[in-house]
Structure 1
Amino acid sequence: MTTTIDRLFDVADLVTDEEREWQLRARELAQTRIAPIIDRAFEDRRLPVELLPAVGELGAFGMHLRGHGLPGASSVAYGLVAMEFEAVDSGFRTALSVQGSLAMGAIQRFGSDEQKARWLPPMARGEAIGFFGLTEPQGGSDPGTMLTAARRDGDGWVLNGRKRWIGLASIAAIGVVWAKDEEGVVRGFLVPAGTPGFVATPIDDKLSMRASLQCDLELTDVRLPADAILPGSRGLSSPFACLNEARYGIAWGVMGAARACLEVAVERSRTREVFGTPIGAKQLTQAKLADCFVEYEKGLLLALHLGRQKDAGRLGHGQISVGKLNNVREAIRIASTCRSILAGDGVTSAFPVMRHMANLESVRTYEGTDEVHQLVIGRELTGLAAF
């Protein structure tokens, strides 16, 4: 299962045998189960939910978490899995991230022992799907404007508000909803599916991430018991800690999309002939391919460095912003350049490049836009906040 790109730069040379095994098993699942149906799913605007249990069987949901039977794999191993999933489609990698890094990550980090024991094992198996309800229609990248409110009512809580772009919410068994309590402090709450007043509506008019599932949420007098609150959550630092996990995975994932586009462009350059020779024999085409490959290799090495820093407990949010900003930006450039090599055929569904290009525009926006990450990095450099 060695790819064209692997022959010039193989990350296997830089990872452990266990990490490589995770990567190869993820590649097998992605290429044999997801790839054959993903184009149709994209056209049908449908997340292939029937494959989510297979991800659970792989052990990839929450694979980097520990306790309650979770694998406790390295951050690098998780990154490699994310890369293999996104090499097929960003939307399916997003499902991995929402379930494992956001929903399960929030419960593992901030939940009670009872909450962890109740939800983490079935979520790891893919038997219970979770969501992470933070973003609001008016807030976007500024969750400090959060309007969703939680007020005490006897021994319990009542939630009211709206959320937007919430992954997996309409098929989830449980979700983490972030709301401000009566003191204005952001807290996390577990909201089971079917709770009266909770409605999740899929967003159907997307031109990107069509083989994915994002929803609008309405919470109208949603009544929850006292033990629905995540006891360890307090303040915006709680959801931000979960977002950092997701942003880390993106730095790896988008390199998978970039690799897939580059492999297609390399193959096409060998087989399409113009002016009597394959286009791959033309200097301009080789220059494009070389530039794309250099940025792919740099991005993958950056992701690997972040993973090693993360496993060593030294990864800061500024470094994560570097990875998310650079790798998404370069993946988009690589996809665009590869599309140009494919010429007119590049905009058809005969090749996955245009699908990757469309998906990457969403990846560029979620978990912090380019501008947000530029400001995070700027603050790290100057010590001055420009938000």
Structure 2
Amino acid sequence: MNLYKLLLLAFLCCTLDLTAQTHPNLILNSGFEEWRTAGIYEKPVCWYFSVGSIEKSNQSHSGSHAVKLVAIPHTLSIIDRANNYYYMNIEGGATYRLTYWYKGTLQRANCVSTVIWCKEKRKVKTTAKKTLRDMVTDASPTEWKQKTIDFVAPQGVNCAGFCFEMKEENTDANNYLLIDDVVFKKIKSSTITEDVPMPYDVKVSAQQREIFMSWHPVQGSGIKYNILLNGRQVSTISTTNYILQKLQPNTSYEIGVQTIMPDGKKSKVAKKNIITELMMTGREDENRIPYIYQIKNYGDCPRSIELFFNDLYDVNAQIKYTLDGIPFVPVDGYKLDFNKTGKHILVVDIIESDGKAWTLEYNLNVK
């Protein structure tokens, strides 16, 4: 190996070591090496358990000891030496990674990892990882395995607690799970900053199954926006308008839009609440006829329209379009741009999944 490669390798090793030191493990006695006697039980220092079903094990992943859990309802929670449950200092919006080593004889999914997020020691939100991917499903009595789970801290929190939650499994009551070397550390700082301006003058309007959003652009080049529906990101765009589709009628939604700078930093989310419109007729009403609500009385419409319907119960209905006798497919599934003003005939064939069908004919006056 030449000198250049040796220097590069040394640099990378130093970089990795500095990174590890920057974000320390936040859990005390994470390897279960310290124990104390409490009555007839031995308890791991800086851990609290809800029932007397936790034991010290000499089958450790590293060091001398691990903790042994069994399949009955109980929790194993972190706690500091002053009996504070929420002692981990947390950065709101940052990403944290939990890792731990396990082995044992459990045959079913068990061991839920739960973080309790707090602000000034008061609970704000609890995140319990209950998917099969995040629980122990493949414990081996002879092989240690590692579990890795990522958590994103809510904005505004500054401390947190953590616990393992075991479920009852009657058929597995005599089986056990060993846990050792628990690590909870920050792996990514928050990208949310007060320095990034939020989208402003956000406007929303609703129909039965669509919500229309618009806002003023944030100044600068390369800026994008996250669109959120009930707190869940649904799209990232570069324009300043968006249409949420296939929603439920007469339903309350929280709409959000967030600025993303070219360097990845994000603003806080600008939020609006809105309720979609009611259906005007019942699904089985023989007088129900779905209609394109952007086509006004007497067929007047602009050069560009969106082919959205009211009183359409089946969002996946088969819909075919013909304009002036020529079949066409709407742009992006819903846009119709007329190549000229004047008179046009639009024919729409609709078949819902239960067999209900309509043929609509619009005599349009495009302005």
Q: TM bucket by the smaller chain? A: under 0.3
**Which has the higher Rg, Structure 1 or Structure 2?**
2
TM-score by length of 2: 0.20
Q: Which has the higher contact order (CA 8 A, sep 6+)?
A: 1
Larger strand proportion of the pair = 2
- TM-score normalised according to structure 1 size: 0.19
Greater share of helix: 1
